[in-house]
Chains A and B, each alone.
Chain A
Amino acid sequence: GAGVSQSPRYKVAKRGQDVALRCDPISGHVSLFWYQQALGQGPEFLTYFQNEAQLDKSGLPSDRFFAERPEGSVSTLKIQRTQQEDSAVYLCASSLALWGDEQYFGPGTRLTVT
């Protein structure tokens, strides 16, 4: 079946612009995670959804970052007033279980802020 998909795959934004990154999880997956991966680093946790409920947003680096999953399937990560330090790959992962023991990752969106 289809895996986790993310769009766009690449995004270039000028500093100060708002961006929206989309994640389509595997159908039926309850849990959804967003991660930020800087160059040469491992993924860093941003936020977690269980169905439509955002249960943990402790990893969001600032109030410019906002995530939603209104119908418990597709999720959007929005970054307002982008800064150069926001340049990274943003990964989405989903899991069938309530917890993320086996997460399926999407290919990521590479965001470059110029």
Chain B
Amino acid sequence: GNSVTQMEGPVTLSEEAFLTINCTYTATGYPSLFWYVQYPGEGLQLLLKATKADDKGSNKGFEATYRKETTSFHLEKGSVQVSDSAVYFCALSTTGNQFYFGTGTSLTVIP
């Protein structure tokens, strides 16, 4: 079946630290992979995506590379800011209409 396993949180980092949030997946077929972010008090919003192996998605300084050989899609950012404090969800879809989300990783960045 299809599933996403995400790094447990919460994660607390100092401003300008390097961020990695691990995500691995199990899927039938060739999934598209996504990172969604939920800022406090807001709805989920798409952060970045990758639709095939070796693609790199990037947005707002965040990056994730679709690694088929390790079935991973780890989220990285070189220098986090306080405004990056949010909950991050990794997700996959094989059909375009069924999406499977991880449990979310809460990130807090302290000044």
Report A's interface with B, CB cutoff 8 A.
3-4, 31, 33, 35, 40-45, 48, 50, 55-56, 58-59, 91, 93, 98-108
Q: How far is the CA of A98 from the CA of B96 in the complex (A)?
A: 8
Chain A residue contacts of B14, Cβ below 8 A: none
Residues of B in contact, count (CB < 8 Å): 24
Question: For the complex, is B99 an interface residue (Cβ under 8 Å from A)?
Answer: yes
Total A-B pairs in contact (CB under 8 Å)?
66
A42 in contact with B97 (CB, 8 Å):
no
Chain A residue contacts of B100, Cβ below 8 A: 45
Give the shortest distance, in Å, between B65 (CB) and chain A (any CB).
18
Chain B residue contacts of A43, Cβ below 8 A: 44, 89, 99, 101
B42 in contact with A107 (CB, 8 Å):
yes
Query: Chain B interface mostly helix, strand, loop or mixed?
Result: strand
Report B's interface with A, CB cutoff 8 A.
4, 6, 32, 36, 42-46, 49, 51, 89, 91, 93, 95-104
Q: How far is the CA of A59 from the CA of B45 in the complex (A)?
A: 22
Q: How far is the CA of A33 from the CA of B46 in the complex (A)?
A: 15
Q: How far is the CA of A42 from the CA of B104 in the complex (A)?
A: 6
Instruction: Using A45-B100, A56-B98 as known contacts, say yes or no to A107 and B43 having CB atoms under 8 A apart.
Output: yes
Give the shortest distance, in Å, between A66 (CB) and chain B (any CB).
19
- Give the most central of B42, B43, B45: most A CB within 10 Å: B43
A42 in contact with B43 (CB, 8 Å):
no
Which A-chain residue is minimally distant from B6 (CB atoms)? Answer: A42
A99 in contact with B45 (CB, 8 Å):
no
Q: Could you show 8 A-B contacts with beta carbons less than 8 Å apart?
A: A35-B101, A42-B102, A55-B97, A101-B32, A101-B49, A101-B51, A102-B49, A103-B99
Q: Out of B36, B43, B97, B103, which one reaches A108, CB within 8 Å?
A: B43
Instruction: Using A42-B101, A42-B103 as known contacts, say yes or no to A105 and B44 having CB atoms under 8 A apart.
Output: yes
Q: How far is the CA of A55 from the CA of B96 in the complex (A)?
A: 12
Chain B residue contacts of A58, Cβ below 8 A: 98
B45 in contact with A42 (CB, 8 Å):
no
Chain B residue contacts of A41, Cβ below 8 A: 103-104
Instruction: Using A103-B46, A105-B43 as known contacts, say yes or no to A45 and B98 having CB atoms under 8 A apart.
Output: yes
